[in-house]
Amino acid sequence: MASSSSGLTFKLHPLVILNISDHYTRVKSQLHPPPSAHHCAPAAADPFAPPAPAAADPPRVYGCVIGVQRGRTVEIFNSFELLYDPATHSLDRAFLDKKQELYKKVFPNFYVLGWYSTGSDAEESDMHIHKALMDINESPVYVLLNPSINHAQKDLPVTIYESELHVIDGIPQLIFVRASYTIETVEAERISVDHVAHLKPSDGGTAATQLAAHLTGIHSAIKMLNSRVRVLHHYLLAMQKGEIPCENSLLRQVSSLLRRLPAIESGKFQDDFLMEYNDTLLITYLAMLTNCSSTMNELIDKFNTAYDRHSRRGGRTPFV
């Protein structure tokens, strides 16, 4: 797929991604009910979701994305679901109009910007839907979510396509071209996405498992930070040795990052920080002491059972 040359910048809000994945997960689990009565976390890319029993193709879901277009920036805020009619290969137009009207009442600024679907790649049949939407918006966008989980892939499996008129074999045709996008978050969205991402299974109710899960999360976050810093460090070292040609823009970015640290530097902060650090260490120490005492207790119980000649358990001596 060629990349877009329209020069539009796309900004995607995480709510859209969550909506699409939620829609997909619901439809999939309703179509193929899971073998056990688990409550699935509402993210299709959740590795804990039970595997679908031998199913045919995963179902495709369709919907509409709405947002704002200001000048060259297209910002996609929200989305809603649409019914797809496989016979006519088109979306339910009446429903779309009604929904659009309802949304207009709440969000007067939002326009229908395009549509979304799930799948691994854009297909020819999608072009029908795309053309159908062209009468609402002359150049709709197509947001595609790939629900198959690929652990090797680090980026989000979301692609945004635009349509462009290209001349192929002498015939001008509309084809999909990929467009780059950025994720834009409002503070409220960040908090809610964070909250959703950390939903624990409902039977992990004990304090111990919750604490363990919380600490594991922090541990993995720190590990990732550590590995990224290491990559940067390695890169800078290589640049210093001359193995890689110096790239000044990167160096400027690194130096600006370093100048932002440390975030706070004052006597009072140091004091409070160290005091809290010491408190945590003391609590760890206390926990370890308790742990050791309990092990010691068990050991002594066992020792007394084995070697104490004065106690007679069970009232009988071991026979000869």
Partner 1 sequence: MGSIENLVTQIQGLSGSIDDIAHLHNILKVADESLHAEPSALSSVLDQVDPAKHSLGYLYFLEAFTSGPVSKEQALTLIPILARFINCCDAQQIRFAPDKFVSVCKRFKDHVLLIESPLRGVSPMRAAVRKLQTTSEHLTTLHPDFLLLCLLSKSYNIGLSVLEDDIFDVDQPRDLFLYCYYGGMICIGQKRFRKALELLHNVVTAPMNTINAIAVEAYKKYILVSLIHYGQFSTSLPKYASSAAQRNLKNFCQPYIELATTYSSGKIAEFKIYVDTNREKYDNDKNLGLVKQVVSSMYKHNIQRLTQTYLTLSLQDIANTVQLGSPKEAEMHVLQMIQDGEIFATINQKDGMVRFLEDPEQYKTCQMIEHIDSSIQRIMTLSRKLNAMDELMSYDPLYLSKVLFTQVGRERQRFDFDDFDTVPQKFPI
Binding site for partner 1 (CB under 8 A): 270-272, 274-275, 277-279, 281-282, 284-285, 288-289, 291-292, 295-296, 298-299, 302-303, 305-307, 313-314, 316, 318-320
Nearest distance in Å: CB 309, partner 1: 11
Nearest distance in Å: CB 308, partner 1: 9
Among residues 54 and 264, whose Cβ is nearest to partner 1? 264
DSSP state, residue 134: T
Query: 3-state DSSP helix/strand/coil percent for the chain, to nearest 5?
Result: 45, 20, 35
Q: How far apart are the first and last CA of the chain?
A: 86
Among residues 167 and 320, whose Cβ is nearest to partner 1? 320
Phi, psi of 271 (to 5 degrees): -60, -50
Among residues 50 and 273, whose Cβ is nearest to partner 1? 273
Strands 158-168 and 9-12, by their bridges, are unpaired
Nearest distance in Å: CB 274, partner 1: 4
Among residues 123 and 272, whose Cβ is nearest to partner 1? 272
Report residue 315 as tokens: 């009232």
Nearest distance in Å: CB 315, partner 1: 8
* Radius of gyration in angstroms for the set of CA atoms belonging to the chain, rounded to a whole number: 29
Among residues 97 and 271, whose Cβ is nearest to partner 1? 271
Nearest distance in Å: CB 233, partner 1: 25
| Amino acid symbol at 161 | Y
Among residues 173 and 290, whose Cβ is nearest to partner 1? 290
Sequence-distant (≥ 6) Cβ neighbours of residue 162 within 8 angstroms: 4, 6, 8, 139, 141, 142, 176, 177, 179
Nearest distance in Å: CB 305, partner 1: 5
Going through the chain in order, the beta strands assigned E by DSSP cover 9-12, 62-70, 73-82, 84-85, 90-91, 111-118, 141-145, 158-168, 171-179, 181-183
Which neighbouring-strand residues pair with 85? 90
Among residues 48 and 307, whose Cβ is nearest to partner 1? 307
| Amino acid symbol at 231 | V
Among residues 51 and 318, whose Cβ is nearest to partner 1? 318
Report residue 82 as tokens: 């649409």
Nearest distance in Å: CB 311, partner 1: 9
Which neighbouring-strand residues pair with 241? none
DSSP state, residue 3: B
Residue 54 CA, distance from chain mean position: 26
Among residues 180 and 305, whose Cβ is nearest to partner 1? 305
Nearest distance in Å: CB 210, partner 1: 24
Nearest distance in Å: CB 310, partner 1: 11
| Amino acid symbol at 278 | N
Q: Distance between CA atoms of 148 and 63, rounded to whole angstroms? A: 19
